[in-house]
Structure 1
């Protein structure tokens, strides 16, 4: 693994060093649209960094778009029951909700930057002999990003203004632009990317920060799959079935390239992001929104809250942060009981199952999906501290019908804190647990891996100091990157698309599913691979298990035409037994799920946008 080189560009002279590690993206440059500005490769890089910049903003993949807008689905819910705000992840938002306007504005800022950059570069004269990279590649990257920003808008809002020209004046009339139908925006996106895909770098970069040819091919597969879905009107002359073929063809190009592979370790894919490292061996993480620094100083500025808002809860009144085992995290997102069932019950082979579970996969016990172990771990870092005189937490539990009272001592945020109910604990070994003489018998503890399974924190991007740099002070901003495209997603997109197009999976699709499940440590029922309907359900479930918390599931449910039904089902799919749930959290989640209706298939056009662009009208049902 190669540690990410982090440079804050203070002067243009640093750009020669920056390009090799893609660290020119580490700055927050201004777009300089003057036609005669782009006269060197250094300036080309500087301007392109500004086109990429919005991806790494808090408004997009740092928080608003990736988490609040896209991450609340049937497998994940916002758990802060003290929050009464209107929020997209609670589905009580309105057209005036600030998060929605801020994300909209940032996407159009990216489009504006791209338009100005493309116009400026195409009008500039640069001697080809002065360039190590053809000027056409810089333009191709900017055109790709402009199309990608439009795709995000059309996917989330439906009909949106298609802005492909740089504004020539500050005239307010330039703002007036009616919405283009969603299907036409999406068709423009794929046409634009297909036009430039051949000009993008065919080689895999040493970092996933920039767009390569295979990244563009993978994103084309994603857009075509969305176009083939239930929520998008059919494009004239392009039947839905043909879109599935297009999606399969582009996904296959990525597979055929041989440049990407599954990392044998599922957890290492995300540990790399937490550690601020690039995977230069497998290149499974194909494209990431990059976040640098922790805001501890002006030269370590970042806009990412991955791991802080979503992660394992870690909070304490102890401000000696150098002792913490997990840096500060609100842990505002939980996996749902539906997700737990996907891992533990659905699509499992009988020989992998046993009445007794074991976190270490001891022979003879149930084989646990490794993705469940990573994404829904049996602990967070809340600790057992309280107001009790001993400094511990008093609990009541029952052993052989004998009611006992005990005190657990564990310093908060210094040890992994197992989920527990009564004397049942989700881990066999409890770090930092001490017995208070005469009060508690450690032999009473019962290992039960299902404890509190409906309210566990999303563990994909945990801030454990084992992986993330130790913080010297509380920091809510992190260096943890957010994946925009992974190779496992490409494999699953191919499997889905070819099954829908051919009416049956081919051998490549079947092997893709086997490969993903083998990495997860679970067997595959071959009969599910031979029936088209069973295969469709298997692929849909596998997308949930593999890609959960990555902001894709909501749009999968929408394109499959089952979004509202699945959200309502998740809200009522709550275990009745107290050992599996906490009613404060699950009732709060149920309320959010119940809020979902047909209008939530699209976001409302922001009120502020309607106030300035009078050519726009509000989305139906809003």
Structure 2
């Protein structure tokens, strides 16, 4: 459980702050001279640098869900919502979510700069420190680079702030944008400069950054730098950047400190249950959310599982009886994602199967949610006889299968009223796993109470963590980088793909790994299947140069048979996809920022 780095109770500026763990506080940087006099205060200040990650503006909701999550695999499904939102691609430079995310990233950078400045001025007795001071500074410097990476990836050219500002000095406010490629190069230079100062062990991951996390993020940044939308980087060819990405990904693999969990589901169950995986360490770095806001001392900023998850709503307020805690379930997996699981890249032996083969489909796009089917009559033929059964599924008390004309998308039905005449016989169940496959909720972040703690209140904020880096992503990055660098996959790259697919329960057609082009497509598809809903696919599509094309394809890739879709929802999704144009490769510079920093100019097309 999350019980590391107990800070105890700190007397701070006359206020008593209780912190149960390293990151479960609203941390603030204390830049005054002489504050950082001991290790407890070092940790407290460092928590302030990490704090932006665990905000609602970043991985709690705005960045992770509204900005990074809407792609060709995932869409916002609330057809009653007419707002301007990033996940509907009808946002503008004045959209609040865009500004709040920008602001939070620069707040993280500000905290990092101030922390490094003040710690650098402080004097410590090395014998009183359990961790080398270089490690604290390296973590802060890494985070400063990571925040800049997120900015440059999403906005393109952005101000590079590598020193603490002396407010209200206008020089520190009026800063022009640095070209995207120079910001990205600065990011990798910064991380490479401190990567060997970071902790080698995985004892404190996924809460804190260690050496292998930095190596994995270096691979991610180099892959993005090598992409189609980034201008030429001085001193590095695209091929050399692929080589760098392969090198750093291989450093993680060679460390033997991370492995694939034997169960794909368990990777996310651990996050939902608020637990660390101390056996496999597949989840290398997570944004942590440690409370549910049921009290002022049990606070969090995370809405993972609430906004994205299995829809679970009811008028019943006895929450202790719910089988799935409250969730709006605002995000669905697209038909494109379904096809990737159901039919793409199958071997000849699997091609004709009508059963689920890829285990990840059952976790990410389950055949049920908790919307309820109260007193719904189901009529079907039993021989020449018509039989009527009644479902009395109280919302959020039972799994509610997706159904079409009495055919169900899951084999187990709960909540049948067996007292009616000619009651439903489970043996008569018609099970079709493909039903309503184009409108299913994103199930990766489900709030089922068998995993998440049972709630006693509605609790829209959750303790569910969000992964920033997983080992399976490192394997996939290595496979892609080597293929692009060398012109063909090596045996390690091929085995990385086999390993991921074996865990998913699917075989691999070796002919797909025979040349650069076929292997490239297999890796891209595997990234989609493995990392769906984790906020990475959009940036993949952008760096591959196919973002607009794939988004439009997802909008028109809709099944024609009614058993696969709810037309109201898919029409709404198609409209959101149709909004996408070339200008959405970058976010607009927020209007409020332009009003303050006159050295900035709006992004082209905005």
- 1:360 equivalent in structure 2: none
* Residue 168 (structure 1) aligned to one of 160, 166, 169: 166
Which stretch of the first structure deviates more once superposed, 402-411 or 601-610? 402-411
Distance 1:587 1:399 in 2: 36
Distance 1:546 1:22 in 2: 34
Change (3 A) 1:180 1:49: same
* Residue 380 (structure 1) aligned to one of 356, 369, 377: 369
Distance 1:205 1:158 in 2: 35
Q: Are residues 1:462 and 2:462 paired?
A: no
* Residue 471 (structure 2) aligned to one of 487, 494, 504: 487
* Residue 266 (structure 2) aligned to one of 244, 268, 272: 268
Q: Are residues 1:615 and 2:599 paired?
A: yes
- 1:95 equivalent in structure 2: 93
Give, in angstroms, the shift of residue 574 of structure 1: 0.4
- 2:404 equivalent in structure 1: 421
Give, in angstroms, the shift of residue 192 of structure 1: 0.2
- 1:226 equivalent in structure 2: 224
Distance 2:247 2:11 in 1: 42
Deviation per CA, 1:525-575: give whole Å up to 9, x if none: 011112211100000000000000000000000000000000000000000
Distance 1:436 1:7 in 2: 56
SS of the residue 1:11 aligns to:
strand
For structure 1, which runs of at least 5 residues remain unmatched after alignment? Answer: 15-20, 358-366, 386-391
* TM-score (normalised: structure 2): 0.96
SS of the residue 1:393 aligns to:
strand
Distance 1:355 1:26 in 2: 48
Q: Are residues 1:252 and 2:250 paired?
A: yes
Give, in angstroms, the shift of residue 139 of structure 1: 0.6
Distance 1:488 1:478 in 2: 25
Contact kept in structure 2, 1:31 and 1:50, CA below 8 Å: yes
Q: Are residues 1:587 and 2:571 paired?
A: yes
Q: Are residues 1:157 and 2:181 paired?
A: no
Distance 1:260 1:355 in 2: 34
Distance 1:488 1:395 in 2: 43
* Residue 504 (structure 2) aligned to one of 520, 538, 545: 520
How big is the alpha-carbon RMSD for the aligned residues of Structure 1 and Structure 2?
Answer: 1.8
For structure 2, which runs of at least 5 residues remain unmatched after alignment? Answer: 13-18
* TM-score (normalised: structure 1): 0.94
Structure 1 runs (4+) deviating above 4 angstroms are 6-10, 395-406
Give, in angstroms, the shift of residue 6 of structure 1: 7.6
Contact kept in structure 1, 2:388 and 2:424, CA below 8 Å: no
Give, in angstroms, the shift of residue 170 of structure 1: 2.4
Deviation per CA, 1:111-155: give whole Å up to 9, x if none: 000000010011111122221111111110000000000000000
Contact kept in structure 2, 1:159 and 1:181, CA below 8 Å: yes
Change (3 A) 1:239 1:207: closer
Contact kept in structure 1, 2:389 and 2:416, CA below 8 Å: no
Instruction: Trace 1:155-554 onto structure 2 (pairs within 5 A).
Output: 155-357=153-355, 368-385=357-374, 392-394=375-377, 407-435=390-418, 437-438=420-421, 441-442=424-425, 444-554=428-538
Distance 2:527 2:199 in 1: 28
Distance 2:431 2:379 in 1: 16
- 1:54 equivalent in structure 2: 52
Instruction: Trace 1:19-58 onto structure 2 (pairs within 5 A).
Output: 23-58=21-56
